[in-house]
Chains A and B, each alone.
Chain A
Amino acid sequence: MMQDMAATSRRRAGAPLRELRRDPEHGMVAGVCAGLGRDLDVDPLLLRIAFGATSLASGVGIVAYVLAWLLMPAAESSGETRTGALADAAGRTGRAAIEVAFGVGFLLLAILLTFRAVGLPFSDVLTWPLVLVAAGGALIWRQSVGGPPTADAAPAPPAAIAPAAAGAPQSRPAVTSRIGVGVTLVVAAAILFLQFTGALAAATDVALAALVVAIALGVIFAPWFVRLLSSLSFERAERIRSQERAEVAAHLHDSVLQTLALVQKRAGDPREVAALARRQERELRAWLSGARQRPGDEQRFVAALQAAAEEIEEAHGVAVDVVAVGDAPLDRDGQALVAAAREAMLNAAKFAGADSAPVAVYAEAADDRLQVFVRDRGPGFDPASVPADRRGVRESIVGRMERHGGEATIRSSPGGGTEVELVIERSTP
């Protein structure tokens, strides 16, 4: 307890006051009171009571709240998985909508006050309702033409950050709350107008009658409506299923059926048939796991390593099994490592022979470290006895790794197979 108090007093005395931020995640309207309470160590309930009391007393609380809403940026929510750039972009889009709404409101107010000042026949009854309708309408309009809302629960993959930030998708609760404020403003304008013109009582009667009729109709037609909704959703699910079936059928035709036709044609060449089967297996596995590289995708380390393995396998008829953990963008270091690993696979395929066990490639890729092991169960060799003029191991593997700040370790003994370990440590971006 004493330690807590001491820590709090130290923070208050020494540490600079951090920027005040709204907390929409825990707020009731825009998160002003929740944010202030968190940043100032005050119970938000007290602040809400203060804002409410001053709003009822003179309306100052509403003005202060709106100003705070405009001036305080929103804090990122604790469970948010989007990056800061994406959240900032969404926040700026929301702020732009609010600025447009206030701008339209102020401009219309100026025009109406000018009408009154120059003596045009204009009723004061219309002033505030028109201003509120214009501001609320502008807010709804800006939200409706803004970026598509995204579900907060869905984590965005890193690759999607840049385009998403450019398009500024907004979180669904933020969009809903701003549209809610816009709708509230328009409804408040209508109520004000009816109140000023004395038609509110009559409108209340009409609204009550409409509500009763709506409830009665709801009770009568609810079963048909529910059935219609469920049949619509069933139809939609059927359509999605049918599209997926067509997609799978098209893919199977383009890949598996074509490969089977080739296998029948080349049935006399077991090596060719095995290579075709391996290639199809790899393609199908990549398709099933969703890891298949599409044209235009960023080059990735694991995809490049698998492409090199596939190339060696096709050229030499030796199975190369690639197991990869993690992935990273393919930069110059990654390219060098893939080239060195390709050379190691090539040596393994050449010296192990087509009838031996598959060449095993194990890769671990992270942003700060790339590591690849290439193992074969071939005849092995003595690394110290490699002649100086044989450049495969010395230059293409060891030299290449050293030029890129990496390291290559070759473990081999006659009759015991060979293991090549390639490592590059990278500075994190």
Chain B
Amino acid sequence: MRRTARPDPVSLTAGIVLVVLGTVLLLDRTGALQLTFSSMAPIAFAAIGAILLASGLSRGRRER
């Protein structure tokens, strides 16, 4: 029976983060959202934090 490959957590997180960011920017372009620096900064920090956390946790698990 063929085994299904497990997705790489870092790539998966980065992909989800990019999709969310793209959706937010698209909503901003269509006028559904009004993005400002104060509203964009937390999203950017959250994106960087999520990718770093996923990378660190998955790297630590691989080493164990």
Interface residues of A (CB under 8 A from B): 89, 92-93, 95-111, 113-114, 116-117, 142, 146-147, 167-168
Chain A residues lying within 8 Å of B51, measured Cβ to Cβ, are 103
Question: How far apart sit A110 and B51, CA to CA, in the bound complex (Å)?
Answer: 13
Q: Which residues of A contact B56 (CB under 8 A)?
A: 95-103, 142
Q: A99-B55, A113-B38 are in contact. Are A106 and B49 (CB under 8 A)?
A: yes
* Contact (Cβ within 8 A) A147 B64: yes
CB distance from A158 to the nearest CB of B (A): 20
Q: Is B41 an interface residue (CB 8 A)?
A: yes
Whether A99 and B63, one on each chain, are in contact in the complex, defined by CB atoms closer than 8 angstroms, is: no
Q: Which residues of chain B come closer than 8 Å to A146, judged between CB atoms?
A: 60
Instruction: Name the residue of chain B whose CB is nearest to the CB of A89.
Output: B63
Flag whether B48 is at the interface (Cβ < 8 A).
Answer: yes
Given A99-B53, A100-B53, A113-B38, also A106-B60 (CB < 8 A): no
Contacting residues, chain B, for A142 (C-beta < 8 A): 56, 60
**Majority secondary structure of chain A interface residues (helix, strand, loop or mixed):** helix
Given A105-B49, A113-B42, decide whether A167 and B64 contact each other with a Cβ distance below 8 A. Answer: yes
Once the chains bind, are A110 and B39 in contact (CB under 8 Å)? no
6 nearest CB pairs, A to B: A106-B49, A103-B53, A99-B56, A103-B52, A100-B56, A107-B49
Chain B residues within 8 Å of A, Cβ to Cβ: 38-39, 41-46, 48-57, 59-60, 62-64
Contact of A96 among B41, B42, B46, B59 (CB under 8 A): B59
Looking at the assembled complex, report how far the CB atom of A143 sits from the nearest CB atom of chain B, in whole angstroms: 11
Given A101-B56, A106-B49: 7 more A-B contacts, CB < 8 Å: A99-B55, A99-B56, A106-B45, A106-B52, A107-B50, A110-B41, A117-B42
Contacts A107-B45, A110-B43 given; does A96 touch B63 at CB 8 Å: yes
Do residues A96 and B64 form an inter-chain contact, with CB atoms below 8 A? no
Closest A residue to B51 by CB, please name it.
Answer: A103
CB closest chain-B residue, reference A106: B49
Residues on B with C-beta less than 8 A from A117 are 38-39, 42
Shortest distance between the CB of A101 and any CB in chain B (Å): 8
Q: Which residues of B contact A97 (CB under 8 A)?
A: 56, 60
- Chain A: minimal CB distance from B55 (Å): 5
A170 CB to nearest B CB, Å = 9
Q: Verify A113–B41 contact, CB threshold 8 A.
A: yes
User: If the complex has contacts A99-B53, A99-B56, are A110 and B63 also in contact, measured as CB distance less than 8 A?
Assistant: no
| A98–B60 CA distance with the chains assembled, in angstroms | 11
A104 touches B42 (CB 8 A): no
- The reply to whether B53 and A104 form a contact with Cβ atoms under 8 Å apart is yes
CA distance A109 to B45 in the complex (A): 7
